Amino acid sequence: MATRAAFITGGASGIGQAVAKDLAARGWRVGLADIDAEGLEATKAMLPTGMATTHVMDVRDRAQWAKALAEFAEASGGRLDFLFNNAGIAVGGQLETMSDEDVDRGLSININGMVYGAQAAHALLKATPGSAMILTSSAAGISGNAGMSVYSAGKFAMRGFAEALNAEWGHEGIFVGSLMPSFIETPLLNHVTQDSNRTVRESVRGAGLEITPVDEVARTVWNILEKRKDVHTRVGKTAHRLWFMARWMPGTLRKMARRSFK
């Protein structure tokens, strides 16, 4: 049986790194992509020798996507069993106080980067039987919260993008889904929002919410690949609570969001 192959954006740290380690341990060849060259090498050093390639790239650049995937396909023998379209950034603050640069950067990475990746990878996915693409959305793609308008815009977009592509590509044998983690133990928790001097980690703990181990996300990704069933998959207690409330208690959820902004 040919060695299965995965291409992972955001592979230098966090969720991308955890998924890379999990798949490599299962015998997969892994392509690690990120703008952080040093982080990529650190992740590669955690994986079995000869089972990973690194690709320094900016997901906002179509030409870099094409180059990285061509290099990866050469190493994998033309296989792409799984595209983990995962790279993203945390952007926060009240919309009217955010700089144009922060807004544009958040949208271009969290939306355009995902779309460009899907475009670039489609031919390889189609040529690999039983392939899949997972887009990293977020609990912020279940319910919008104050101070997260631009971030939520990107994560809600990935929900719709996953549903549409699952319908478009399903007849080609490509499964497309979205991953909706809540607060995961990754470097993103150390981000300080524009309107606060507290990190996301401090705010989460102050609100009495849980932080989910990143290895739980990696296990969830594997389950998605195995079952190929649900388009949207939540990770973490907060994400599951928000999903329930968004469906059955939307009015209460809106009131909670407004109260949190006062």
* Active-site residue, from 82, 116, 151, 161: 151
Quick one: average pLDDT of 10-19? 96
Longest CA pairwise span in the chain (Å): 58
User: Model confidence over 187-233: pLDDT tens digits?
Assistant: 666 665 555 566 565 555 544 456 778 899 999 999 999 999 999 99
Long-range residue pairs from 32-38, CB within 8 A, at least 24 positions apart, any chain: 32/8, 33/7, 33/8, 33/9, 33/57, 33/59, 33/68, 33/87, 34/9, 34/10, 34/87, 35/59, 36/12, 38/12
- For the domain made up of 5-261, the CATH class stated in words is alpha beta
pLDDT tops 60 at residue 18: yes
pLDDT tops 90 at residue 160: yes
- What is the reported pLDDT for 170? 97
Q: Considering just the CA atoms, what is the radius of gyration of the chain in Å?
A: 18
Percent of the chain with pLDDT over 90: 68
- What is the reported pLDDT for 2? 67
Quick one: average pLDDT of 140-164? 90
Smallest CA-to-CA distance from 231 within 143, 150, 169 is with 169
Angle of the 149-169 helix axis to the 113-127 helix axis, nearest 10: 20
pLDDT tops 70 at residue 155: yes
Instruction: Identify the band that residue 58 occupies on the pLDDT scale cut at 50, 70 and 90.
Output: very high
Mean pLDDT of the chain: 90
- What is the reported pLDDT for 199? 59
Q: Which residues of 174-207 are buried (b: 16+ CB within 10 A; e: fewer)?
A: bbbbbbbbbbbbbebbeeebeeeeeebbebbeee
- What is the reported pLDDT for 207? 47
Residues forming beta bridges with residue 6, ordered by sequence position: 30, 82
- What is the reported pLDDT for 190? 60
User: Is 116 among the residues known to form the active site?
Assistant: no
Task: Give Cα separations from 139 to 6, 11, 179 (angstroms).
Answer: 24, 21, 9
Spatial separation of the C-alpha atoms in residues 231 and 249, rounded to whole Å: 22
Spatial separation of the C-alpha atoms in residues 230 and 243, rounded to whole Å: 14
- What is the reported pLDDT for 208? 45
Tell me which of 44-53, 107-116, 132-141, 235-244 is least confident: 235-244
Quick one: average pLDDT of 135-163? 90
Where does the chain have alpha helices with state H? 14-25, 37-45, 62-76, 100-107, 113-127, 149-169, 200-206, 214-227, 237-248, 250-261
Cβ count within 10 A of residue 35: 17
Percent of the chain with pLDDT over 70: 88
- CA dihedral 24→29→32→37, nearest 10 degrees, is 90
User: Model confidence over 101-142: pLDDT tens digits?
Assistant: 999 999 999 999 999 999 999 999 999 999 999 999 988 888
Domain boundaries, the chain: 5-261
Quick one: average pLDDT of 227-251? 88
pTM of the model: 0.90
Contact 246, 142 (CB under 8 A): yes
pLDDT tops 90 at residue 242: no
